């Protein structure tokens, strides 16, 4: 497509690579950036560059981190024998907001979804198993989303972890049907967390 500027069309193409962004939205964003102030545009560009340079994933739990270990894993007040397994960093943030949980996390970075060609090997499951072997874990809470994919991931993990003699619980299904963890309000989420059941 011709936008009268090679750079503009390149910007649009790059924006379209982002999840959930189609051509129309990409165009709107590009024109917005074109009209925005120099400082704003540079701040955004710098943030993206710094994000890629300085932020990576925690070597232990795969949460976003600027060091080898994330701030949660480094926090000595947290209980390392309690691990909450989530799909994405967003879910971790939603649980952190409730202040109900004082253990550590493990971010799978996705869920089982044959439709998208995602199997167990594409998730951070191998790393989770190594972690469970290395450290003393009393309880593992599975907080994957209450939909088909989250449930399949939970069932798969349960089958894998149960033989290790670790207590496995699943976050209670107090969430509205069809909702994702990320969007559920804090009250329902904290109630679901305290009411978790053993699988």
Partner 1 sequence: MFIKTVKGSNFRNLSAFDLEFAPGKNLFLGINGSGKTNLLEAIHYLCIGRSMRSVAEDEQMIGFTREWFRLEGQAQTTEGDINVEAAYNKEEKRLKINGELQQKLSELIGRMPVISLSQEDDDLCKAGPGVRRRFMDLAISQFSKTYLADLQDYNRILKQRNHLLYAIKEGRSNAGSLEAWNQQLVECGMKLVRKRMEVIDDLKEMAGSRYVGVSGGRERLGLRYHLSYKYEPGQPIEEAFAKALATGFEFERRRGITMFGPHRDDMEISLAGMRIRQFGSQGQQRTAAIALKLAVAEIMAAQLKEKPVILLDEIFAELDSQRAGLLIRQLDPECQVFIASAHENDITRQDGFKKFRVEDGRIVQE
Q: How far is the CB of 112 from partner 1 (least distance, A)?
A: 6
Residue whose token pair is 């309880």? 139
Contacts to partner 1 by CB under 8 A: 112-115, 117, 119-120, 147-149, 151-153, 155-156, 159, 177-178
Per DSSP, 118 falls in state: B
- Nearer Cβ to partner 1 (74/159): 159
Tell me which of Zn ion, partner 1, none is bound by residue 60, counting a contact when its beta carbon lies within the kind-specific cut-off of 5 to 8 angstroms.
Answer: Zn ion
Residue 105 in contact with residue 80, Cβ under 8 Å? no
Residue 180 in contact with residue 145, Cβ under 8 Å? yes
For the four alpha carbons of 92, 49, 4 and 36, in that order, the dihedral sign comes to: positive
Contacts to Zn ion by CB under 5 A: 58, 60-61, 63, 70, 73
Crossing angle of the two packed helices 23-35 and 6-15, in degrees rounded to 10: 130
Q: How far is the CB of 83 from partner 1 (least distance, A)?
A: 20
- Nearer Cβ to Zn ion (15/58): 58
Crossing angle of the two packed helices 186-194 and 89-98, in degrees rounded to 10: 90
In this structure, what are the phi and psi dihedrals at residue 102, rounded to the nearest 5 degrees? -120, 15
Q: How far is the CB of 127 from Zn ion (least distance, A)?
A: 11
- Nearer Cβ to Zn ion (27/60): 60
- Nearer Cβ to partner 1 (1/115): 115
Q: How far is the CB of 109 from partner 1 (least distance, A)?
A: 16
């Amino acid at each position: 497509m011709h936008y009268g500027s090679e750079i503009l069309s390149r910007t649009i193409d790059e924006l379209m690579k982002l999840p959930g962004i189609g051509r129309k939205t990409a165009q709107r964003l590009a024109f917005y950036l074109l009209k925005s102030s120099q400082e704003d545009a540079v701040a955004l560009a710098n943030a993206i560059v710094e994000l890629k340079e300085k932020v990576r994933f925690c070597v232990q739990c795969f949460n976003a981190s600027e060091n080898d270990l994330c701030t949660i894993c480094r926090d000595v007040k947290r209980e390392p024998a309690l691990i909450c397994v989530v799909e994405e960093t967003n879910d971790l943030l939603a649980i952190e907001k409730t202040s109900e949980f004082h253990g550590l996390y493990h971010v799978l970075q996705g869920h089982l979804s044959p439709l998208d060609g995602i199997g167990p090997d594409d998730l951070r499951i191998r790393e989770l198993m190594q972690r469970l072997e290395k450290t003393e874990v009393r309880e593992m809470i599975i907080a994957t989303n209450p939909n088909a994919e989250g449930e399949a991931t939970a069932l798969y993990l349960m089958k894998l972890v149960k033989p290790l003699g670790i207590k496995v619980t699943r976050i209670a299904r107090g969430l509205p049907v069809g909702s994702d963890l990320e969007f559920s309000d804090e009250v329902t989420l904290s109630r679901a967390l305290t009411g978790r059941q053993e699988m």
